[in-house]
Chains A and B, each alone.
Chain A
Amino acid sequence: MRVSTNQTQQIAINSMLEQQEKLTKTQKQVATGKRIFKPSEDPVGAARIVDLKNTLQTQGQYQKNIDAARARLSVEESIMGNGTDILQRIRELAIAGNNASQTNETRGFISEEVEQLLGQMLDMANATDGSGEFIFSGSKINFRPFVNNEKGEFEYQGDDTQRNLQIGPKRIISTSDSGNFVFRAIKDGNTEYAAFENTENKGSAIIDPGSVTGQYDGGTYAIVFDKKESIDPNEPITYKVIDDNNQEVIPAGTIYVEGADIEFNGVRVSVEGEPHKEDFFVVRPSENQDVFTTIKNFVDALKSPRGSPKQLADLHNEINRVILGIDNGLGRMLEVRSNIGARLNALDAQESINTDYNLQIEEILSGIEDLDYGKAVSELNLKLTGLQASQKAFTRVQNISMFDYI
C-alpha cells in the first residue's frame, strides 16, 4: 500500500500520544495508590465503592451507638449494685428487727437507719445522667421519677418506655430500664399471693405465707379460727377456710396445729402462735407494691410502740411481709442486673462481629479501590519501554529521505 510522508509521521505521533496517555494513567495510579479515579474506569466497582463506604460509615455509627449504650448501661449497672447493697442491709435490719429481744427503743434506732437507707434508695431511683436527664423515668426524662406526695405515697411520674439503640444491622438493644419496672411493678407476698392478718385480731398468731403448691387459682380466701367456749384448756382451736362467696374450702372444725401447713387450691400457708376465736387471715393474689412503700411500711412498723402479744404479732406479721417485699425487690434488681449484664455481653459480641465485618468490608473495598503495586509498577516499566521504542522508531524513520541522496 502506498503511504504518504504525512501519514508515516502521523502514525508515529499517534502511537507516541497513545503511549503517553496510558503512561500518565499508570503514573497517576502509582502516585496515589488508587486504581479508580472516575466511575467510568470501573462503573460496577464505583457503585460498589459508594455502597461499601456507606456500610463502613454505618458500621462506625453502630460502634458509636455501642459505646453510648455501654456507658448508659454501666451507669445503670452500678446503681443496681448500690441498690442491692441497700436492700440487703435493710433485709438484715428487718431480720434483726423481728428478733424478740428488740425493744421499742432499739427498734427506734433501726428505724432511723432504715429511713436513711430509704432516702438513699430514692436518690438512686431519681439519679440523673451527665446531661441532667433522669435515668429511670422512661421517656419522660424531664420528670423526677419518684416523688413522695402529700398522701405519703410514692408516685411514679415516668413511663414504661425503654430507650433503644441500633448496634448492628439487625440488632437493637435497650439502653435503659424504666423506674416502673425496676422499683415499682414488684409483686408483693410470695409473688403469687400475699397473706394479711385482720387488724382486729386479738391473738398472737403470725402467718407465714409459705409457697405455692401447684396452680394457685387467684382467688381470695379467709382462714377463720374458732374455739368452743370451754373450760377445758385442751379444747382444740379449729379453723375453716372460706372463699369470697363464703363457701367453705376447708370445712369448719378442722383442728389447728401450730406451724402445720394449711393447704387449699394451690395455697400453702402456716400459722404460729395462738389465734383467738374469730381471728382471721386473708390470702389474696399478689399485687404490685413499689420497693419504697415496702421500706416505708418497715419504718412505720418499727416506729409504732409495741407491748402486748397482739401488737408484737402485728409487728412480726408486718416485718415478715417486709422481708418478702425486700426479697422480691432484690429479685427484681438481680433480674435487671443480669439483664444489663446480658446486654453488655451482647454489646461485646456485636462489637466483635462489627469489627470482623468492618475488616471484611475494608478488605473488599481495598480490593476494588486500591492498586496492586507490583502489577502497576511492571506495567509502568512496560509502558515506558513502549514509549521509548516509539520515539526511537520515529527518529529513525524520519532520518531517511531520498532528498539526502540527490
Chain B
Amino acid sequence: MGAGDVLGISTSGALSAQRALSTTSHNIANGATEGFSRQRTDLSARAPQPRGNGAVGTGVIVKNVSRVYDEFVTEELRNTSSTSTALDKQYYYTSQVDTMLSDPEAGLAPAIQNFFAATNGVADNPGSVSARQVLLSEAKSLEDRFKYLDNRFDAMRNGVQKDMRNVVQNINDLARSIADVNEAIVRAQEIGGTQPNDLLDQRDRLLLDLSKKIGVRGQIQDDGRLNVFVGNGQILVVGGNAAEMDVVSSPDDASEVEVVFKSNQAEAIITKFLSGGELGGMLEFKKHTLDVSQNDLGRIAVGIAKTFNEQHQLGMDLKNVLGGTFFEELDVTAPKVKQNINNNGDLKIAAEITDLDQVTVSDYRLSYSNGEYSLVRMQDDKLVSKFSSLPAEIDDEGFKLFVESGSSIQEGDSFIIRPTIEAAQRFKVLVNDVKKIAAATPIRAFEDIANLGDGEITSVEVLGTDSKLFNGNNKDLEMPLVVRFVDDKHYEVLDNKGNPIKQKLAAVPATPAIKADEAGRATPAEPATPPSAPSITSVYEYNPDKGVQVFPTPDGVDMKVRFKITGNPKKGDTFHIEFNKDGVGDNSNAVSLAALQNKKVLSDATATYTQVYAQLVSRVGSKTHELDTSSKAQQLLLHQAVERREGISGVNMDEEAANLVKYQQLYKANAQVIATAKSLFDTLMQTFR
C-alpha cells in the first residue's frame, strides 16, 4: 500500500462527504417546500483491488442521490385529498343553502305566517276592505318570498356553473403541466441517466393538485411517463399530450350545464362519470341538494297554491260570484318539459301534476326507443314507467304526460321532465281586486218563518261548486232548494220548480270507481249503481232523535253541499237552501281558508304548510350536518395520510443537523487522512533529501 492509495481513498471520501453535505443542505433548503421528498446520498465502497495478500479497499463512491418516497402512500394521499376536497366543496355550498333557509327574515315560514294572519284578519272582518287589502299584500309578499328563495337557488346554480368552468380550466392547465413535466423527466433521464428527483416531486405535486380538482387515476409507464385518466377511463394525459375538458350547456335543458371530454374533434358528455375533487363536490351538491331543494320549494308552492285555491273556489266574493283561482294553478302551469336539442322528431310534450302527494323532488328523463317510452327517475336512476303511447298517466309519480304539439318521434329522442323546478318562480297571486276575495260561503240555509216545528238547519258546508246547484245550464236544479216535510217523519227535497229532485237526477249514472285499498292494490270496481228508474215516491224517512244529513240522499243524489236538519219539524215545514246573495258579512269561507294554516293538507294529509317547509329545512340541515361530519372525518384521514407521507418523505431538521455533523466529521476525517498521506509523503521525501 502506498501513500498514493491513501490520498486517492481519502480524496474519494472527502468528495463523497461534500456530496452528502450538499444533499443535506438541499434537504434543509427545501425544508418547507410542499411536495418535496427528502433526498439521500447512497454511498458505496469502491471495488477493492485484489492483491496477493487480499483485496484492498479503494475508497468510497456516491452511487446515487435518491428520493425517499413510497408510491402507495403518495397514491393514498392523492385519493384522500380528492375525497376531502370534494366533501369540503359540497359542504361549502350546502351550508349556504342551510344558512339561507334558516334565515328568520328571508325564510318562507314567516311569510306563510303573515299571510295567514291576514287571512284571519279577513275572517275577523269579512266586510272590511282594508283587511282584504292586507290579505292581498301579504299574498304578494308570499309570492315575493317564493321568488326570492328561488332566485337565491338560481344564483347558487349560476355560481356553481361558473365555478365548474373555472375548475375545468384549472384541470386543463394542470393536465398540460403534467404533460410538460412528463417530457422534461424523459429528457432528463436520457441526458443524465439518473432519476430527476425534483421533477418527479413536481409531477407528483401537480397530480395531487389535479386530484383536488377532480378524481383521477395515474399510471406510470415503463419509460417514466405518467398517464392520467378521468371519469370512466378518458385519458386526460398521455405522455406529453394533454386532452381538454369543457363545460357546455346541456342538450337536455339549456339552463343546465354538462362537462364534456374533447378528443379528436368529438365531444363526449362525461358529467355523470365524474367524482371526487372540487368538481365532484359541485356535481354532488347540484344533484343532492340544489336540484332537490329547489324542487322541494316548488312542491311546497304547488301545494299551497292548489289547496288554497280549492278552498277559495268553494267561497263567494263580495260581488256575489263564486271564488276564482287565488293563486296561479301551478299543478298545471309549473311542470317543465324540455326536449333534447338533438331530437329528430318534432314532438313536444307537456306535463301536468295529477296527484301532489305522489310528486317526488326528482327530475325525470323520458326516452324513446324501439317504439316504447321509458321514464327514468334521475335522482336514483330508476326506471319508473314504460309505455308505448301518449298521453300517459304516471300515477306513482303523480303527474301525467301528454302531447303539446308535433307528432313525429324518432328512435333515441329524449325529454327532461322537471315537475316542480319552476313552481316557486311561477308562484303568483291572481286575485288583484279586494272584492274578489271569497270570504263567504256561496249558500245560505234557513228555516221557513212559517214553520210550526222546532226543526233546525245546521252545519252548512259546500264541498264543491261544480254540482248542478251552481250550474246555470240546468235551471231546474239551480237554487233555491227546498226540503219539505210531508209529515213529522218524512221529507222530500224539491228543486226550484217544486218538483222532487230525485226524478230529475235519476238518469245521472253513478260513476264507477276503481279504488285502491290501503295496501295499494286495486280493488274490483264497485258495481256501478244502475240508474234507478224514476220511482213514484221520493219521500225519505226522518228520525227526529238523530236528525238527517240531507245530501247525499238515501238514493244517492249528491249536490255537493252538506246540511243537517235536526229537531222536530212538523208537517208542511220547509227548509231552504239558496244562493248567499249579498252575504258579504259571512266569514265562513275565510275561516276555512285561515284554518288551512294548521290543517294537514300536504304529503298525504300528514303535514301542514309550515311543516313541509320545516321538513325541507331539516333535510338540508341533516345533509349539511352529515357533510360536516364526513368532511371532518375525511380531514382526519387526510391528516393521517399527510403524516404518513411526511413520516417517510418529509425533512426532519434535527436529522439533517445530525447528518450535517456526521458528513462534516466525515469530511474532516478524510481531510485529516489527506494530511496524513501528505505527511507520509513528506516523510518519504525527507528521506531522500
Residues of A near any B CB (own CB < 8 A): 1-7, 10-11, 14, 37-44, 46-48, 50-51, 53-55, 57-58, 61, 64-65, 68, 131, 133-134, 137-143, 156, 159-161, 163-166, 169, 172, 180, 184-185, 218, 285-288, 401-403, 406
Do the beta carbons of B658 and A402 come within 8 Å of each other?
Answer: yes
Checking B107, B125, B595, B643 against A166 with a beta-carbon cut-off of 8 angstroms, the contacting residue is: B595
Output the residue of A39, A43, A286 with the most chain B CB within 10 A: A39
Residues of chain A with a CB closer than 8 A to B571's CB: 218
Contact with A5, one of B31, B124, B628 (Cβ below 8 angstroms): B31
Would you give 20 A-B contacts (Cβ < 8 Å), ordered by A? Answer: A5-B31, A14-B639, A38-B102, A38-B621, A39-B101, A44-B618, A46-B614, A47-B617, A50-B610, A54-B112, A142-B127, A142-B585, A159-B446, A160-B445, A166-B595, A180-B449, A218-B570, A285-B452, A285-B570, A401-B653
Structural contact, B610 and A43, CB atoms closer than 8 A? no
Interchain residue pairs A-B with the least CB separation, the first 4: A4-B650, A39-B621, A141-B585, A139-B586
Q: Are A41 and B125 in contact (CB under 8 A)?
A: no
Q: A39-B624, A40-B628, A160-B447 are in contact. Are A57 and B585 (CB under 8 A)?
A: no
In the complex, besides A40-B621, A40-B628, A139-B586, 11 extra interface pairs with C-beta distance below 8 angstroms are: A3-B646, A38-B624, A39-B101, A39-B618, A39-B620, A41-B625, A50-B611, A50-B613, A57-B117, A160-B446, A406-B661
Q: Tell me whether A165 and B446 are in contact (CB under 8 A).
A: no
Q: Which residues of B are found within 8 Å of A285, using beta-carbon distances?
A: 452, 570
Q: Tell whether B302 is near chain A: CB-to-CB under 8 Å.
A: no
Q: In residues 399-435 of chain B, which contact A (Cβ within 8 Å)?
A: none
Which residues of B come within 8 Å of A, CB atoms? 31-32, 38, 95, 98-99, 101-102, 107, 109, 112-113, 116-117, 120, 123-128, 440, 444-447, 449-452, 457, 570-571, 580, 582-588, 591, 594-595, 597-598, 608, 610-611, 613-615, 617-625, 628, 639, 642-643, 646-654, 657-658, 660-661
A402 touches B657 (CB 8 A): yes
Residues of A near B591 (CB, < 8 A) are: 164-166, 172
Q: Are B447 and A2 touching (Cβ within 8 A)?
A: no
Which B residues are in CB contact (< 8 Å) with A61? 116-117, 120, 594
Q: In the docked arrangement, what's the CA distance between A161 and B619, Å?
A: 45
> Please, how many angstroms separate the alpha-carbon atoms of A64 and B116 in the complex?
13
A46→B104 CA distance, assembly (Å): 11
Per the bound structure, the CA–CA distance linking A47 and B617 in Å amounts to 6
Contacts A61-B116, A159-B444 given: A5-B611 contact, CB under 8 Å?
no
Give the complex CA separation of A253 and B639 in angstroms. 121
- B583 & A47 in contact (Cβ 8 Å cutoff): no
Name, among B617, B639, B643, the residue most crowded by chain A CB atoms within 10 Å (CB to CB): B617
Among residues of A, the one whose C-beta sits closest to the C-beta of B448 is A288
Q: Given A140-B585, A169-B598, are A288 and B642 also a contact pair (CB < 8 Å)?
A: no
**A139 and B625: CB pair below 8 A?**
no
Q: Which of B125, B580, B621 has the most CB of A within 10 A?
A: B621
- Which chain B residue has the least Cβ–Cβ distance from A288? B449
Tell me which residues across on chain A come within 8 A of B452, comparing CB atoms.
Answer: 218, 285-287
Q: A57 to chain B: which residues have CB within 8 Å?
A: 113, 117
Chain B residue nearest to A4 (CB atoms) is: B650
CB distance from B112 to the nearest CB of A (A): 8
Contact status A131-B98, CB under 8 Å: no
Nearest chain A CB to B480 CB, angstrom units:
12
Once the chains are docked, how many angstroms separate the CA of A10 from the CA of B648?
Answer: 16
Q: Do A406 and B653 touch across chains, with their CB atoms under 8 A apart?
A: no
- The reply to whether A65 and B124 form a contact with Cβ atoms under 8 Å apart is yes
Report the minimal beta-carbon distance from B650 to chain A, rounded to whole angstroms. Answer: 2
Please tell me if the beta carbons of B584 and A139 are within 8 angstroms of each other in the complex. yes
Query: CB-CB < 8 A to A286: which residues of B?
Result: 452
Chain B residue numbers with a CB within 8 Å of A401 are: 653-654, 657
Q: Determine whether the beta carbon of A161 is less than 8 Å from that of B586.
A: yes
CB neighbours of B657 from chain A (8 A): 401-403, 406
Alpha-carbon separation in the docked complex, A160 to B449 (Å): 11
Establish whether residues B610 and A54, one from each chain, have CB atoms under 8 Å apart when the complex forms: yes
Q: Name the B residues within 8 Å of A2 (CB-CB).
A: 647-648, 650, 652
Instruction: Indicate which residue in A53, A138, A169 contacts B583 across the interface (CB closer than 8 Å).
Output: A138
Q: Is the CB of A164 within 8 A of B588?
A: yes
B646 and A133 contact, CB distance less than 8 A: no
Query: Once the chains bind, are B586 and A43 in contact (CB under 8 Å)?
Result: no
Bound complex: CA of A142 vs CA of B651, how far in Å? 92
A55 contacts across to B, CB distance below 8 A: 598
CA distance A137 to B584 in the complex (A): 11
Given A39-B102, A406-B660, residue A142 in contact with residue B450 (CB < 8 A): no
A5 touches B654 (CB 8 A): yes
Say yes or no: A140 contacts B617, CB within 8 Å: no
How far apart are the CA atoms of A286 and B452 in the complex, in Å?
6
- Tell me the bound Cα distance from A161 to B581 in angstroms: 12
Contact B652 A5 (CB under 8 A): yes
The answer to whether A131 touches B642 (Cβ under 8 A) is no
B109, B113, B583, B608 — which one has the most chain A CB atoms within 10 A of its CB? B583
Bound together, the chains give a CA A160 to CA B448 distance in angstroms of: 11
Q: Which of A7, A139, A141, A288 has the most CB of B within 10 A?
A: A139
A3 to B102, CA, bound (A): 45
CB of B102 within 8 A of CB of A46, answer: yes
List chain A residues, Cβ under 8 A from B615.
Answer: 47
Which residues of the other chain, A, contact B447 by a CB distance below 8 angstroms? 160, 185
- A46, B624: Cα distance in complex, Å: 13
How far is A326 from B597 in the complex, measured between Cα atoms in Å? Answer: 46
A58–B119 Cα distance when bound, in Å, is: 12
* Bound form: Cα–Cα A64–B628 in Å: 43
Q: Do B102 and A5 touch across chains, with their CB atoms under 8 A apart?
A: no
Question: With A and B bound together, what is the CA distance between A37 and B38 in angstroms?
Answer: 46
Task: Tell me the complex Cα distance, A313–B624, Å.
Answer: 93
Which one of B101, B598, B623, B653 contacts A402 once the chains associate, using CB atoms below 8 Å?
A: B653
Out of B95, B598, B618, B658, which one reaches A43, CB within 8 Å? B618
Expressed in whole angstroms, the Cα–Cα distance for A134 and B651 within the complex equals: 93
Q: How far is the CB of A200 from chain B (nearest CB, A)?
A: 26
Residues in B neighbouring A65, C-beta threshold 8 A? 120, 123-124
Q: Which residue of B lies closest to A191 (CB)?
A: B454
Q: Which of B124, B618, B621, B654 contacts A68 (CB 8 A)?
A: B124
Known contacts: A43-B625, A288-B451. The answer to whether A4 contacts B647 by CB under 8 A is yes
Min CB gap B654→A, angstroms: 4
Separation of A140 and B126 alpha carbons in the complex (Å): 11
The docked-state distance in angstroms from the alpha carbon of A5 to that of B658 is 14
Which of B571, B620, B652 gathers most chain A CB within 10 Å? B652
Which residues of chain B are near A141, meaning CB under 8 Å? 127, 584-585
**With the chains together, A366 CA to B498 CA distance in Å?**
63
CA distance A57 to B445 in the complex (A): 34
Q: How far is the CA of A53 from the CA of B113 in the complex (A)?
A: 9
Asked if B444 contacts A139 (CB within 8 A), the reply is: yes
Residues of B within 8 A of A41 (CB): 621, 625
Asked if A163 and B647 make an inter-chain contact with CB atoms under 8 angstroms apart, the answer reads: no
A139-B440 contact given A46-B618, A163-B585, CB 8 Å threshold:
yes
CB distance from A389 to the nearest CB of B (A): 19
Tell me how far the C-beta of A139 lies from the nearest C-beta in chain B, rounded to whole angstroms.
3
Measured between alpha carbons, how far is A38 from B654 in the docked complex, in Å? 46
Most buried by B among A3, A10, A46: A46
Instruction: Chain A residues near B31: list those with CB within 8 A.
Output: 5-6
CA distance A288 to B446 in the complex (A): 14
Per the bound structure, the CA–CA distance linking A159 and B449 in Å amounts to: 11
Measured CA separation A122–B120 after assembly (Å):
32
Q: Is the CB of B95 within 8 A of A5?
A: no
A140 engages B584 (CB within 8 Å): yes
Q: Are the C-beta atoms of A38 and B99 separated by less than 8 Å?
A: yes
A71 CB to nearest chain B CB (Å) = 10
Chain A proximity of B455: nearest CB distance (Å): 12
Contact B99 A159 (CB under 8 A): no
8 Å CB contact of B625 from A40, A164, A166: A40
A39 touches B597 (CB 8 A): no
Asked whether, in the complex, the Cβ of A6 is within 8 Å of the Cβ of B32, the reply is yes
Question: Is the pair B585, A402 in contact by a Cβ cutoff of 8 Å?
Answer: no
Please tell me which one of the listed residues B38, B587, B647 contacts residue A3 in the complex, with CB atoms under 8 A apart: B647
